[in-house]
Structure 1
Amino acid sequence: MESLALADHAHRWARTVTRVTGTAVESLASAALSPYPKVRGVTDNWWRGEDSLIAVHRREAVGFDAPQCLQDHVCGGLDEWGLHGG
């Protein structure tokens, strides 16, 4: 439930939302990101950057061994309110 609430909040307040798919997802891994443990799931995770939240969706990719199904949503341009919700 927390992950859905964070997704709604991030998409609502982001200046940009970029969808990254397939093998390009792996290039998003960066030391500049920190995990957002409150919404960590088995196949879905969130990472926080300086002004962005990144949703990492691995559902079908893990369940069906289909790396082409990897998908990240990068919600960028978030201010303090957008990153934390208050």
Structure 2
Amino acid sequence: MVLETTQQEQEMALQPTESPKSRDSLRLIRLPEVRSLTGLSRTHIYRLVAAEEFPAPLKLGGGERTRASGWLEVEVLAWIESRIAERQSA
């Protein structure tokens, strides 16, 4: 018995399967959203990054002069959760 597959079935088989959670963990957010989530100023965020107390941003461009950067949302949310846990344990 020969099984025939349609082109659509073949294309679907080649697509990687991702759970919504794994896709969300790769979401990049820019500084205004980081500020909104944390309630921190731009200066304070970068001071915490320099002190390695906050997730570092990722450079979004490949060029030497690229200034755009973003944070992994999951890392920022984990930082917020750690602050909550720290408060609860105090």
TM class by shorter chain equals under 0.3
Higher share of residues assigned strand: 1
Relative contact order, higher structure (CA 8 A, sep 6+): 1
Per the normalisation by structure 1, the TM-score is: 0.28
Per the normalisation by structure 2, the TM-score is: 0.27
Of structures 1 and 2, the larger Rg is shown by 2
